[in-house]
Amino acid sequence: MAEQDFTRAALEEHLAAGRLMGVRCPSCQGLSAVPRAPCPACRGTDLQWVELSGRGTVVGFTVVHVPPTPLCAAGYGRDNPYAAAVVRLAEGPWITARLVGVDASRPETIRVGMPVRVEFLREGTRTVLAFRPEG
């Protein structure tokens, strides 16, 4: 059953449907934005998918001018840099994601602690997780 499958493939189905989902461990209340089983904290196997609010804050970020091959192919590079961030979700767990809606040519305007909201980017057949500054 797909719901019992705590894998990247399962998460990608949720993301494609526009849902940011996490995995909760009822035994220790541990919550992760990255699916994994069993629970690494208490070894509990009775895990559940939970929908997350999609709100968070930026913990750290970068603006990449020398991208890896797939993003070079997508047109990113020195003349078209992109931002990526580590985000702390309102519910607690961290996740790494693209950062959109920011001025990558003026990185000093991007702030650690900035509130952000989830967005789902379509890149080819994949859905890429992104966050955009709120308000």
Partner 1 sequence: MKRLARGVCLVGAGVGKFGAFPRKDSRDLFVEAVGELVASVDRGLDPGDIEALFLGNYSSDLFEHQGHLAPIVAHWVGLTPRAAVRVEDACASGGVALRQAVVAVASGLYDVVLAGGVERMTALPTEAVTDALATAGDALYEFPAGFTFPGFYAAMATAYAARYGMPYEALTAVARKNHDNGALNDKAQFGMTIREIMARRVAKARERGGPVPAWEDEREFLRDPAANPVVAWPLRLFDCSPITDGAAAVLVVAEEVARRYTDRPVRVLGTGQASDAALYGREELTSLRAAREAAAQAYAMAGVAPSRIRVAEVHDCFTIAEVLAVEDLGFFPPGQGWRAALDGETARDGRIPVNTSGGLKAKGHPVGASGVAQVVELWKQLRGEAGPRQLPGEVDLALAHNVGGTGQTCVVHILGRG
Neighbours of 103 (CB within 10 A): 11
- Number of residues in the chain: 135
Is 23 a binder of partner 1 (CB under 8 A)? no
Of residues 51 through 110, those in contact with partner 1 by CB under 8 A are: 59-69, 71-72, 76, 78, 81-82, 84-86, 93-98, 107
Report the amino acid identity of residue 7: T
Closer by beta carbon to partner 1, 2 or else 41: 41
Among 42, 66, 74, 121, binds Zn ion (CB under 5 A): 42
Is 50 a binder of Zn ion (CB under 5 A)? no
How far is Cα 48 from Cα 36, in angstroms, rounded to an integer? 11
30 contact, one of Zn ion, partner 1, none, CB 5-8 Å limit per kind = Zn ion
Handedness of CA 93, 33, 117, 124 (dihedral sign): positive
Q: What Rg do the C-alpha atoms of the chain give, in angstroms?
A: 16
Interface mask (CB under 5 A) for Zn ion, residues 55-74, using x and -?
Answer: --------------------
